[in-house]
Amino acid sequence: MTPATAENTVKCVVWDLDDTLWDGTLLEGDELHVPDANRTLVRVLDEHGILQSVASRNEPGPAEDRLRDFGLDTYFLHPQLGWSAKSASLRTLLDLLNISADSVLFVDDSEFERAEVARELPEVRCVTREKLHELVAGGRVLPRQVTADAARRREMYQAEDRRRGHEETFQGPAEEFLSSLGMTLRVRNATEGDLDRAAELTRRTHQLNTTGITFDRDELAELVRDPGHRVIVAELDDRFGTYGTIGLAVLSTGPEWTIRLLLMSCRVMGRNVGTALIAALARTAAAHGARTVAHFRPTDRNRQMLVTYRFAGFAVVSRSEDRVVLTMPEDRIPAVPGYVRLVTDDTATVLSRPTQEVTR
């Protein structure tokens, strides 16, 4: 199967069921069968980070039972089963998945249903299952590159649903809620396998980003090989699953370790793990006999990151029109918040680490 060009990449495929995902009509008591080509395609789409759901005129219970019987139920997020217009089902999915209509492929055997969706949601691409297979084979659907995070995108959505349900029912202070998540932050040197996701983070993350500098994959690879630089990635897990790679730091090293870029994915906004990442960087620098310096370039969206630096103990040493330079006093290296467990690669030589930090 051929990868898609960037402009044609699809984020979600929404399947009808009767005579589309499976052969036969459930309500008519037909013997249902999922073609092997459809089974394979569902798996391939999932492995390439393309979300999938269902919009079908069927009773929820029996339809869900059959999806479970076929071993396909876990692939589909928020199945829309019932008697609403298909366009209404798709609007619900767009809201639940937080994606745009132009990133969705709707697959249905019924010309009437495709026309109804095309009229109400003209940005959604509406196709038959035969056309879907043709588009995939022709390189119009699958992304060219699949990061580790993309390959588990569906699982991360499912984990976030469980997490949101817990948050909605939790009663207590914010810090108790954070403690209840059981978060583990893993901070390590980037490897070859991290570079696509790291480059993606520099392109997509604007709010929780200290300088707005972007790096492509080749530039990051060069920095990884450069003994005068460190490229650091941070991964976050909790009791509900993984958030994936959510943080990136690019540092120049020497007598001072300067954080040229620090960013956090918006998917962890509100988890307050920025201080733990900064603590890991400052402790590693101290272990190498260096003090930590940070650069901040203000934009119209990133003031929160300057607040994060100041809260972590950085002091401003100079300001210009386009840059703030901060330094971490040697006696002010921040403690790791009690609600997150920190696991690092190379802070073994740091003395008096807090008990929640683990060094591999």
Q: What is the pLDDT of residues 86-119, one digit of tens each?
A: 999 999 999 999 999 999 999 999 999 999 999 9
- The answer to the question of residue 68 being in a domain is yes
Distance of CA 53 to the CA centre of its chain: 18
- The answer to the question of residue 254 being in a domain is yes
H/E run at residue 359: strand 357-359
Structure tokens at 154: 């569906």
Average the pLDDT over 55-65 and give the result: 97
In total, how many domains does the chain have?
2
**The pLDDT of residue 358:** 46
User: 198 CB contacts (<8 Å, ≥6 apart)?
Assistant: 190, 215, 217, 220, 231, 233, 245, 248
Average the pLDDT over 284-294 and give the result: 94
**The pLDDT of residue 346:** 59
Residues 343, 205: one domain? yes
Residues 123, 252: one domain? no
Q: Which amino acid is at 190?
A: A
- The answer to the question of residue 322 being in a domain is yes
Using the 3D structure, point to which of 91, 122, 144 is the last residue of a domain.
144
Distance of CA 274 to the CA centre of its chain: 17
Q: Is 170 helix (H, G, I), strand (E, B) or coil?
A: coil
Query: Which whole-number Å values give the CA distances from 228 to 164, 231, 268, 321, in the listed order?
Result: 42, 10, 30, 27
- The answer to the question of residue 163 being in a domain is no
Banded model confidence at residue 268, pLDDT cuts 50, 70, 90: very high
- The answer to the question of residue 53 being in a domain is yes
Banded model confidence at residue 348, pLDDT cuts 50, 70, 90: very low
- The answer to the question of residue 167 being in a domain is no
Given a contact cutoff of 8 angstroms between Cβ atoms, the answer to whether 356 and 346 are in contact is no
**The pLDDT of residue 190:** 97
Q: Is 54 helix (H, G, I), strand (E, B) or coil?
A: strand
Say if residue 37's pLDDT is above 90: yes
Dist. CA 160–CA 149, nearest whole Å: 14
Instruction: Name the one residue in this structure whose structure tokens are 């026309």.
Output: 115
CATH of the domain at 237: 3.40.630.30
Residues 185, 308: one domain? yes
Residues 203, 333: one domain? yes
- The answer to the question of residue 288 being in a domain is yes
Mean pLDDT (the chain, rounded)? 92
Residues 137, 281: one domain? no
Residues 197, 250: one domain? yes
- The answer to the question of residue 302 being in a domain is yes
CATH of the domain at 128: 3.40.50.1000
Instruction: Name the one residue in this structure whose structure tokens are 């059959």.
Output: 66
User: 270 CB contacts (<8 Å, ≥6 apart)?
Assistant: none
Domain that holds residue 68: 7-144
Residues 137, 180: one domain? no
Dihedral of CA 178/183/188/194: which sign?
A: negative
172: left (phi over 0), alpha (psi -120 to 50) or beta: left
Say if residue 351's pLDDT is above 90: no
CA angle at 186 for the pair 240 and 230, rounded to the nearest 5° = 150
Residues 51, 183: one domain? no
Residues 191, 328: one domain? yes
